[in-house]
Amino acid sequence: MPHVLTVIARPGALHPRHLAAARDALAGLGARLGAPEWLAEAEAADLPFTELAAAQAVAAARHALAGEALDLIAQPVAGRRKRLLLADMDSTIVTTETLDELAAFAGLKDRIAAITARAMNGELDFQAALRERVGMLAGLSVSALEETWATTELMPGARELVATMRADGARCVLVSGGFTFFTSRVAERVGFHDHRSNTLLVAEGKLTGKVGEPILDKDAKLSTLKEVAAGLGIPLAAAATVGDGANDLPMLQAAGLGIAFRAKPTVAAAAHHRLDHADLRGLLYAQGFRAEEFRAG
């Protein structure tokens, strides 16, 4: 079977009736189906199919499973396991927006978070919004960076995602519109090979309110994807990308497996694939990894 529909749920929430409903929906459009293959009991399964476009398969299954907290990803079976991972950091590999959390130490979290939300939904120019938010933090002690880092938590599944892909031979790169202070630490904690992000400028132990230039934005994320893939000698089809914001969308659309992860509405609507319910291990199921193949990290 040349295509596969992967059905993913939170642990324990996937039932045979869900798979039967999805299979019936695909069959109703004329697809030929293979036997379901469980990737993790009650959590993820593959439904092989042919004679139906991937987008049609997802649309049909989503309609049949409306109201269920399930994620659906359809793609060709060939080349399913990727050799490169590019991942956003904020609200993707970590659970928070680190700039918003940093702003709390200046008493500005709500104001800055409102700007962040609009920028991540594509309503504001990313570079201008970043400069505005950082400018509001001028004079903040650098000790606030350490305090913010102390409370930063990893997204569930982050370690397994990177460790498993690394063990399978993939290159893993963290690419963020955030800041090197955080990406360097996240990359080390999670196991990324490399990280790229922006730089907060500091003078006399305080933030200057300025960002190092050039700013890493959506175009730079896409350029990084192309550069790293070229360096590995692989096509973009062999890359996986994941992120939640508008500045991630170009790299999500360009990669062979670009997944909008619990994404902002405009991003979820425009991405080819999305995970709304599963944790980051969903990217592994999408590549056909079975639970017993996961590495703990």
85/199 Cα distance (integer angstroms): 22
Active site residue 90: yes
Strands 44-50, 32-33: pairing kind: antiparallel
Instruction: Spot the catalytic one: 24, 46, 71, 88.
Output: 88
Residues 278 and 8 sit within 8 Å (Cβ to Cβ): yes
Residue 274's φ and ψ, nearest 5 degrees, are -150, 150
Give the E-state strand segments of 158-280 in sequence order: 171-179, 194-198, 200-203, 206-211, 239-243, 257-261, 273-275
Residues 169 and 289 sit within 8 Å (Cβ to Cβ): no
Selection from 235, 269, 264, 228 nearest residue 247 by Cα: 264
Instruction: Spot the catalytic one: 90, 100, 217, 248.
Output: 90
Active site residue 279: no
DSSP letters for 122-150: TSS-HHHHHHHHHHTTTT-BTHHHHHHHH
* DSSP tag of 105: G
Q: Name residue 45's beta-bridge partners.
A: 7, 38
47/127 Cα distance (integer angstroms): 42
Residues classed as catalytic: 88, 90
